[in-house]
Amino acid sequence: MPIRYDDDARTLALSVRDLLEEGAPTGHLVVEIAQTRAARLAAGRAAHVEHQDEQTDRDAAYRAEVRLKHQIAVGDWTVVLHGRADGVTEEDGRTVVEEIKSTALDADQLHGTKLSDWPGYVGQLELYLWILHQAQVDLPVGRLVLVSLLDGSKHVIGVPLDAERTGRFVAARLAEITAARDRRIAWMRWRREAKVPIPHDRWRRGQREISEAVLWGLQIGHQILVEAPTGLGKTAAVLHGVLQYALARDLQVFWATARTTQQDGVERTVARFAAAGLAVRTVVMASREKSCLNTVVACRPDACRFARDYYDKLRERDLVHTLVESRRTSRQDLRTAGTDAEVCPFELSLDASEHVDLVVGDYNYAFDPGVYLRRHFGEDAGRWIVVVDEAHQLVDRAREYGSPRILAADANRAAEFLWADPDYRAFAELAEEIAGLVERTARAADGARRDGAVVCTLPKKELASFVLRLDAVAMDYALLRARRPLAGVGERDPW
Ligand code: SF4
């Protein structure tokens, strides 16, 4: 659950996890390439519950899923910090808090790990201990229970309470979070009071009507389709209407484009608004590939220095806020900032996009079911207005999104490559089965052809079963990567 703010009452409620992760987290940037999703989650949950059941059977004092809460004053904010410990019990007169985590390491690897290898989990546990300590529980101790999903082995590491250090950490993080919120409140106030100027000396013919129609459509919740000749100034007129609505209601605008040249046009229009007195915060998102400063797109701390310590570098310079508040978020600005601070410009644009009035980016970031920005268009999509530039282009894109293609030749090539390594057997089998399904379906098709290809529909049931299999293979992949990390930048990743 995200942090819950009540700005008028100056209160906020956040979980221990929020405290650890909100704003710039710490450490490296790691872009996950394997989505283990359901299979990984289910396996982790099962290991978790199994351990709790065992503990409950052998220890009458053991309580699972114990809620913890502590209230703190930070400046004029009242903060409620809450969490849920996996297990709490009493041993030798002391309170013991358990945190259970599943891992893809086997017994040997797992037992070779120590506290410093699990900073995130330890941080969580230390916070639980600190909350209990604030509630006058005398010297509670922590127990990090690591369960291997490979062989079921367990490794238990003790975590001591360090009330002073944890207290300092809590105070520093809450000071950052409340300061960021105060900055946001000031930004929202500025937005609500902002007057949106006409970005030219005077309206051109038709522009005022477009701006008014856009504003009216937003006010009554209608989609508006604007069609006007090239050169009329549609971008300025639409932006004028959209900004009036968005700024007054704490909403952000995503300007979705099909081509980079459209993005350049929006940037020029934003500059005109700035010259007329309204400097909106804008970020233009280039693709990961175009933004990349590394020799090869390999978003891992061991392969890219711009991913290494990414979050720590952001935090040290307060980089995101410095850039957005100074309006230095053009593509070139982000590249320059990325080069100077040695951080990834693409990730920087993503992080900056949370703090700007206008985000300009490709259709894919809003509409592609595979790559849309979940941080914006997931659960919290209601805070965005999406403008679709050259909307007629979206039709073909949408067809592509809704018509994924599987080529038997690609699947066969993948299988051939994967069979060469015994570790990839499960992947090779899946690739072969996919190729087989495509070939069988094509042979059984009634002969309709388009552009030399057989037109047929793949059986939905079998496709659905492949999705589940893919999920399971993704889990295998995560386990394999844990056992055998990629050696370096040059090593090909079959995923
Ligand atoms: S600089 Fe390139 S390789 Fe590094 S994190 Fe960014 S996109 Fe990935």
| pLDDT tens-place string over residues 83-105 | 999 999 999 999 999 999 988 77
Q: Domain check: are 74 and 134 in the same one?
A: yes
407 Cβ contact list (under 8 Å, min separation 6): 438
State the Cα–Cα distance between residues 329 and 332, nearest whole angstrom. Answer: 8
Task: With respect to residue 361, please indicate whether it lies within any of the assigned structural domains.
Answer: yes
CATH number for position 74? 3.90.320.10
Looking at this protein, which amino acid is placed at residue 265?
G
Task: With respect to residue 251, please indicate whether it lies within any of the assigned structural domains.
Answer: yes
Ligand 1 geometric centre to CA of 336 (Å): 14
CATH number for position 248? 3.40.50.300
ipTM of model: 0.99
What pLDDT was estimated at residue 35?
45
What is the position in ligand 1's atom list of the atom closest to the CA of 310? 5
Name 11's bridge partners: 6, 78
Distance from the first to the final alpha carbon of the chain:
31
Among 285, 300, 306, which is best to mutate for testing ligand 1, by the most ligand atoms less than 8 A from CB? 306
Is the pLDDT score of 25 beyond 60? no
Identify the CA nearest to 480 among candidates 397, 422, 420.
422
Is the pLDDT score of 492 beyond 80? no
- Range in 111-125, 270-284, 422-436, 443-457 the model is least confident about: 443-457
433 Cβ contact list (under 8 Å, min separation 6): 466
What is the position in ligand 1's atom list of the atom closest to the CA of 305? 4
Q: Domain check: are 437 and 398 in the same one?
A: no
Mean pLDDT over the full length of the chain: 88
Residue 72 φ/ψ, nearest 5 degrees? -135, 145
**DSSP letter (8 states) at residue 381:** G
Ligand 1 geometric centre to CA of 115 (Å): 29
State the Cα–Cα distance between residues 3 and 24, nearest whole angstrom. Answer: 14
Q: Domain check: are 207 and 101 in the same one?
A: no
State the Cα–Cα distance between residues 383 and 249, nearest whole angstrom. Answer: 9
**Number of folded domains in the chain?**
3
Task: With respect to residue 186, please indicate whether it lies within any of the assigned structural domains.
Answer: no
Is the pLDDT score of 414 beyond 60? yes
**What range defines the domain where residue 145 resides?**
34-181
The first and second tokens of residue 11, run together, are 């209160």
Q: Domain check: are 258 and 167 in the same one?
A: no
Q: Domain check: are 160 and 237 in the same one?
A: no
Q: Domain check: are 335 and 222 in the same one?
A: yes
Task: With respect to residue 489, please indicate whether it lies within any of the assigned structural domains.
Answer: no
Which amino acid residue places its CA nearest to atom 8 of ligand 1? 299
Task: With respect to residue 491, please indicate whether it lies within any of the assigned structural domains.
Answer: no
State the Cα–Cα distance between residues 51 and 145, nearest whole angstrom. Answer: 9
Give 315 or 217, the one with higher predicted confidence.
217
Residue 471 — very low, low, confident or very high, per pLDDT cuts 50/70/90? confident
| Dihedral sign of CA atoms 60, 42, 82, 319 in order | positive
CB 212 within 8 A of CB 196: no
Name 64's bridge partners: 87
Long-range contacts of range 41-46, CB-CB < 8 Å, 24 or more positions apart? Answer: 43/102, 43/149, 43/475, 44/101, 44/102, 44/149
Ligand 1 geometric centre to CA of 287 (Å): 11
User: What value does the mean pLDDT take over residues 317-333?
Assistant: 90
Q: Domain check: are 338 and 417 in the same one?
A: no
What is the position in ligand 1's atom list of the atom closest to the CA of 299? 8
What pLDDT was estimated at residue 493?
62
Which amino acid residue places its CA nearest to atom 7 of ligand 1? 292
Q: Domain check: are 468 and 420 in the same one?
A: yes
**DSSP letter (8 states) at residue 354:** G
Which amino acid residue places its CA nearest to atom 6 of ligand 1? 344
Among 346, 371, 486, which is best to mutate for testing ligand 1, by the most ligand atoms less than 8 A from CB? 346
Ligand 1 geometric centre to CA of 70 (Å): 39
What is the position in ligand 1's atom list of the atom closest to the CA of 292? 2
State the Cα–Cα distance between residues 365 and 374, nearest whole angstrom. Answer: 9
Q: Which of 402, 434, 468 is the last residue of a domain?
A: 402
Is the pLDDT score of 28 beyond 70? no
What pLDDT was estimated at residue 227?
92
Q: Domain check: are 235 and 294 in the same one?
A: yes
Phi-psi category of 318—alpha, beta or left, where left has phi over 0 and alpha has psi -120 to 50? left
Is the pLDDT score of 489 beyond 60? no
Task: With respect to residue 83, please indicate whether it lies within any of the assigned structural domains.
Answer: yes
What is the position in ligand 1's atom list of the atom closest to the CA of 344? 6
| pLDDT tens-place string over residues 235-253 | 999 999 999 999 999 999 9
Pocket of ligand 1 (CB under 6 A): 29, 288, 292-294, 297-299, 304, 306-307, 344, 346
Task: With respect to residue 18, please indicate whether it lies within any of the assigned structural domains.
Answer: no
| pLDDT tens-place string over residues 275-321 | 999 999 999 999 999 999 998 888 888 889 999 999 989 988 989 99
Is the pLDDT score of 228 beyond 80? yes
Is the pLDDT score of 39 beyond 50? yes
Task: With respect to residue 199, please indicate whether it lies within any of the assigned structural domains.
Answer: yes
CB 356 within 8 A of CB 326: no
**DSSP letter (8 states) at residue 308:** T
Kindly state the percentage of the chain with pLDDT values over 90: 58
Mode of pairing for the β-strands spanning 77-91 and 63-74: antiparallel
Across 364-466, the runs of DSSP E, i.e. the strands, are 384-388, 449-450, 453-454
Ligand 1 geometric centre to CA of 298 (Å): 6
Which amino acid residue places its CA nearest to atom 2 of ligand 1? 292
The first and second tokens of residue 342, run together, are 């040695």
**DSSP letter (8 states) at residue 252:** E
Q: Which of 147, 181, 215 is the last residue of a domain?
A: 181
Residue 482 — very low, low, confident or very high, per pLDDT cuts 50/70/90? low
Among 310, 347, 349, 351, which is best to mutate for testing ligand 1, by the most ligand atoms less than 8 A from CB? 347
What pLDDT was estimated at residue 40?
67
Q: Domain check: are 124 and 270 in the same one?
A: no
Helices 331-341 and 345-352 pack at an angle, to 10 degrees, of 120
Residue 31 — very low, low, confident or very high, per pLDDT cuts 50/70/90? low
State the Cα–Cα distance between residues 219 and 245, nearest whole angstrom. Answer: 8
Across 381-457, the runs of DSSP E, i.e. the strands, are 384-388, 449-450, 453-454
Provide Rg for the chain, Cα atoms.
Answer: 27
| pLDDT tens-place string over residues 148-197 | 887 888 999 999 999 999 999 999 999 989 999 999 999 999 999 999 99
Looking at this protein, which amino acid is placed at residue 442?
A
Q: Domain check: are 132 and 176 in the same one?
A: yes
Q: Domain check: are 138 and 246 in the same one?
A: no
| pLDDT tens-place string over residues 426-446 | 889 989 998 998 888 888 876
Give the Cβ contact number of residue 53 at 10 Å. 12
What pLDDT was estimated at residue 34?
42
Q: Which of 402, 434, 469 is the last residue of a domain?
A: 402
Ligand 1 geometric centre to CA of 297 (Å): 5
What pLDDT was estimated at residue 1?
63
